[in-house]
Amino acid sequence: MMLHNRVRDMVAGELLRVIATDPSTQRDIPKFCSFLGHELLEQRVNGDQYEYIIRKGS
């Protein structure tokens, strides 16, 4: 929900870095991007943190 609200306030092409601790984001964030037309540029795991770089679609 917080991700959806943040992306809504962005303009197309802007990048957002997301850092999460919930492992379910590995499934949820790619689906979120695919469903809403955003581009998942990077996805990585660093210890117990999950990091994503998202480019907002049009």
Q: How far is CA 43 from the centre of its chain?
A: 9
> What's the pTM value of the predicted model, to 2 decimals?
0.91
In the chain, % of residues over pLDDT 90: 95
User: What pLDDT sits at residue 18?
Assistant: 97
- Please report the pLDDT score of residue 1 as a whole number: 74
Residue 39 pLDDT > 80, yes or no? yes
Within the chain, residue ranges assigned H as helices are: 2-8, 25-36
Superfamily of domain 2-55 in CATH is TusA-like domain (3.30.110.40)
Amino acid letter, residue 6: R
Residue whose tokens read 């991700």? 3
Task: Determine the Cα–Cα distance for residues 31 and 36; give it in Å rounded to an integer.
Answer: 8
> Residue ranges per domain, the chain?
2-55
- Counting residues of the chain whose pLDDT is more than 70, the rounded percentage is 100
pLDDT at 38 over 80: yes
